[in-house]
Amino acid sequence: MNRAIYLEEPDIIFGRGQTAKHPRVGLSLHGPLVTPSLRALRLGYVGPREGLEKAQQLISELMNPLRFPVDPRARVIFPGFEALFNCALPERFEIFKFVDFGALKQVLRIREPHQRIYSAVDLYLAQLEAARREDDTTSLLWICYVPDVVYTHCQPKSAPLNDSEISVAPSLSPKQLLKRLAQVTAGQGGLFDDSEPDFSLDAVEYKTDFHHQLKHRLLVSQIPVQLIREQTIAIITDLAQTVDRFQGDCKKISALYTHVNDIAWNLSTALFYKACGSPWKVANLRPGVCYIGLVFKRTEPPRGRRFRPNNVATTACCAAQMFLDSGDGTVFKGNVGPWYSPDTKECHLNADAAESLISLALQSYRDRFDGEYPRELFIHGKTAFTDEEWQGFQRAVPPQTQLTGIRIKTRSSIRIYPRSDLVALRGVAHITDERHGLLIANGWIPRMQTYPGREVPTPLEVDVLRGDTPILTVLEDILKLTKLNYNSNVYGDGIPVTLRFADAIGSILTAGPLSETPPLPFKFYM
C-alpha cells in the first residue's frame, strides 16, 4: 500500500469564527478566539528593584507595532499587543514585589549548587507567597524578572558567583556535601552543623535548575508566572543601539529584526494565554475527541550509586497531558513507581497505575462536559504499549468510547527527499499500510516561502499500535495538533502538542519532592 499523499494545512479558528492557516495572520485580521472581558491585563512584577524599569519598558514596547522592513512572504509584522488581542497591557504593574538584589547576589556566592539555587528561588517565592496573602491577586499574571547573573549561576553544573566584594557564610564543597549525605544515610547525625545556618536539608531534594524548581514549587499555590530574562528584554529595548553597532551590515540587521519580531509574537501570545485563555483553536476536529500524551521522567538515582551499573534507579514519575478540540490543555500527575526498565530503557505503567492515570483525565473531561465521556480517545506515546499497560487503559474507558493507542517517534533515521532542490513540503505523508506512516511536520512552507530549519527535516514515524482508527485520520489529527503551541506563535510546530512539552513537564514535576499535584492547566508548566 506504499503511497505518498499531501495533507492540506489545517485551519485554525479565531475571533467571530473566522479561520486562517497562520496564527499571526489570523490574530492580525480577526483577533483572539475569546475576547477578554478586561480592558487591560492584570500584571504583577517580582524581581530586583533594578529590573522594574526594564520590565516596564518591555511591556510598553509590546504595545507598539514593530516598524522595520520584513519580507511579507516569510514574516508577519508584529502590530502591537492591543491590536492583536483587543485588550491592552497595563501602563504600570498593578503589584510590585521586590527581591533584594544584594541578598540575591549573596546566595549566588554559595558554592554548593543545591543550596545556591534553592536559596535564590526562596527569595522569589517568599515575595509571591506574601502577595497571595496580602493582595488581591485574582486573575493576576506575574512577570518574573530574571537577571542574567541569576540565569548564569542557577543552571545545572553552573559555578557560583565570583565576586570578592561579597562575603557569605561558610559553605560546603560538593565533595564535603556528599560525605555528609553518606553520614546522614548511615544515621550519623545531621547534614549541616549549627554553625552553618544558611544550609537546608530540603534543598538537596530539588533539582539545580532555577526555572524548573520555581515552576515546581509554585504548582501547590497555583501562581501563574512568566519568566523573562534580562537579556531578552535588552534585545527588544536596545534595538536601535544594536542596529547602529552593526554599521549597515544588512544581513545582520535583517537577522536581528527577524529575531525581535519572533520574540514579540511569542511573548505576547504566551502572556495572553496565561492571563486570559485561548488565542485560537484548531478547526474541523471531530466533536467529542480527546487526545492524551503520556509523560515519563526518571527520578535521579541515589547519590553515591549514580555510576554503578548494578544499581540503576528504576523509579519514574508519570503524567498525562489532555488536549481537547477547544485547544485547552490540562496536566495530570500520575503515580510514582518502578516504571523504568534498565533492559529496554523504556518506561511502562502497570495495569492499576495506567487505569488510575486515564481515569483521572476522563473524570476531568466529564466534569467539563456534563458527565459525558469522549467519543474518541487517542493516547499518544513515544514507545509501544505493553499488554498490561493497555489493559489498564481499557479498564478506565467505557464501551462507548473508541480507544486508540498511537506511537510517535520523533527521532527517526528516515529522511524523505523530493525530486527538487527544496526540502519536502510540510504535510507530506508516506503511508506504508493501514497502521504505519511517516509525516513531514516541519518541512517547506509554501505560504512563507521558507523552511524553518537547517537540516533535512526528520519525519515523524507514526504507528497505530492499538485500536482500529485509519492511519490517514491519525496523521491528519497529528498535523492539526502541531498548531496548538501557544508558547511559540509559529505557523506549525514539528511535534504534536501532546508530546511537544513532555520532557519539560516531566522535568518540572520531578524538580522537587514528588508530592501530590492537582490537575492543573497547561499554562502553569509553560
Determine the average pLDDT of the residues in 482-493.
90
Q: Is 133 helix (H, G, I), strand (E, B) or coil?
A: helix
DSSP annotation string for 369-416 = TTTPPPSEEEEEESSPPPHHHHHHHHHHS-TTSEEEEEEEESS-S---
**Which pLDDT band holds residue 165 (cuts at 50, 70, 90)?**
very low
Extract the C-alpha cell encoding 57: 519598558
Q: Say yes or no to pLDDT of 400 above 90.
A: yes
Q: How many residues does the chain have?
A: 526
Tell whether 125 is covered by a domain.
yes
Tell whether 300 is covered by a domain.
yes
Determine the average pLDDT of the residues in 270-280.
90
> d(Cα 296, Cα 335) in Å, to the nearest integer?
11
> d(Cα 105, Cα 162) in Å, to the nearest integer?
10
Determine the average pLDDT of the residues in 143-166.
85
Tell whether 69 is covered by a domain.
yes
Q: What is the pLDDT of residue 71?
A: 61
Q: Say yes or no to pLDDT of 117 above 70.
A: yes
Among 262, 277, 292, the domain boundary falls at 277
* Residue 273 sits in the same domain as residue 319: no
* Residue 373 sits in the same domain as residue 498: yes
Q: Are 20 and 26 in contact (CB under 8 A)?
A: yes
* Residue 315 sits in the same domain as residue 458: yes
Of 175-179, 195-199, 309-313, 457-461, where does mean pLDDT reach its minimum? Answer: 195-199
- Strands 3-6 and 428-433, sheet pairing: antiparallel
CATH of the domain at 127: 3.40.50
In terms of phi and psi (left: phi > 0; alpha: psi -120 to 50; beta: otherwise), the region of 13 is beta
- Strands 340-341 and 520-521, sheet pairing: unpaired
Tell whether 404 is covered by a domain.
yes
Q: Say yes or no to pLDDT of 254 above 90.
A: no
Q: What is the pLDDT of residue 199?
A: 63
Determine the average pLDDT of the residues in 366-382.
93
Of 409-418, 462-471, 502-511, where does mean pLDDT reach its minimum? Answer: 409-418
* Residue 236 sits in the same domain as residue 302: no
Q: Say yes or no to pLDDT of 306 above 50.
A: no
Q: Are 70 and 257 in contact (CB under 8 A)?
A: yes
Determine the average pLDDT of the residues in 164-187.
49
Determine the average pLDDT of the residues in 458-473.
94
Q: What is the pLDDT of residue 251?
A: 79
* Residue 389 sits in the same domain as residue 501: yes
Q: What is the pLDDT of residue 43?
A: 95
The H or E element that residue 352 is part of is helix 351-368
Name the nearest CA neighbour of 483 among 34, 11, 28. 11
Determine the average pLDDT of the residues in 198-203.
71
Count of Cβ atoms closer than 10 Å to residue 338 Cβ: 11
Q: Are 487 and 62 in contact (CB under 8 A)?
A: no
Among 253, 277, 301, the domain boundary falls at 277
* Residue 302 sits in the same domain as residue 399: yes
CATH of the domain at 299: 3.30.420.10
Q: Say yes or no to pLDDT of 307 above 50.
A: no
Range with top average pLDDT, 22-26, 74-78, 328-332: 22-26
Extract the C-alpha cell encoding 42: 492584570
In terms of phi and psi (left: phi > 0; alpha: psi -120 to 50; beta: otherwise), the region of 492 is beta
* Residue 252 sits in the same domain as residue 323: no
Among 251, 277, 303, the domain boundary falls at 277
Q: Are 422 and 450 in contact (CB under 8 A)?
A: no
Tell whether 21 is covered by a domain.
no
**Which pLDDT band holds residue 243 (cuts at 50, 70, 90)?**
confident
Q: Are 147 and 161 in contact (CB under 8 A)?
A: no
What is the percent of the chain with per-residue pLDDT over 70, rounded to a whole number? 89
CA-derived radius of gyration, the chain: 24
Q: Are 438 and 416 in contact (CB under 8 A)?
A: yes
Name the nearest CA neighbour of 437 among 406, 398, 468. 406
Q: What is the pLDDT of residue 181?
A: 52
* Residue 85 sits in the same domain as residue 141: yes
Range with top average pLDDT, 236-240, 277-281, 477-481: 477-481
* Residue 273 sits in the same domain as residue 285: no
Tell whether 346 is covered by a domain.
yes
Tell whether 50 is covered by a domain.
yes
| pLDDT, tens only, 313-370 | 688 889 899 998 777 788 998 888 899 888 888 899 999 999 999 999 999 999 999 9
**Which pLDDT band holds residue 167 (cuts at 50, 70, 90)?**
very low
Tell whether 169 is covered by a domain.
no
Name the nearest CA neighbour of 379 among 344, 407, 414. 407
Q: Say yes or no to pLDDT of 386 above 90.
A: yes
Torsion over CA: 8, 445, 452, 25 (sign): negative
The H or E element that residue 6 is part of is strand 3-6
DSSP annotation string for 152-209 = HHSSTTPPPP--TT--------HHHHHHHHHHHHTT-S-SS-TT-TT--GGGGGS-S-
* DSSP structure class, residue 456: P
Q: Is 226 exposed, middle or buried (0-12, 13-18, 19+ CB in 10 A)?
A: middle
Q: Say yes or no to pLDDT of 168 above 50.
A: no
Q: Say yes or no to pLDDT of 169 above 80.
A: no
Could you list the residue range(s) of the whole structural domain that residue 252 is in?
35-161+206-277
Q: Quote the mean pLDDT of the chain.
A: 86
* Residue 305 sits in the same domain as residue 226: no
Tally of structural domains, the chain: 2
> d(Cα 85, Cα 22) in Å, to the nearest integer?
16
Top pLDDT among 270 and 169 is at 270
* Residue 238 sits in the same domain as residue 286: no
**Which pLDDT band holds residue 179 (cuts at 50, 70, 90)?**
low
Q: Are 457 and 423 in contact (CB under 8 A)?
A: yes
Q: Say yes or no to pLDDT of 100 above 80.
A: yes
- Alpha carbon of residue 376 to chain centroid: 26
> d(Cα 428, Cα 315) in Å, to the nearest integer?
39
> d(Cα 214, Cα 125) in Å, to the nearest integer?
7
Sheet holding 329-337, edge to edge: 3-6, 428-433, 436-439, 460-466, 402-409, 376-381, 289-298, 316-324, 329-337, 520-521
Of 11-15, 73-77, 174-178, 444-448, where does mean pLDDT reach its minimum? Answer: 174-178
Q: What is the pLDDT of residue 137?
A: 83
Residues 6 or more apart whose CB falls under 8 angstroms from that of 359 comprise 396
* Residue 343 sits in the same domain as residue 395: yes
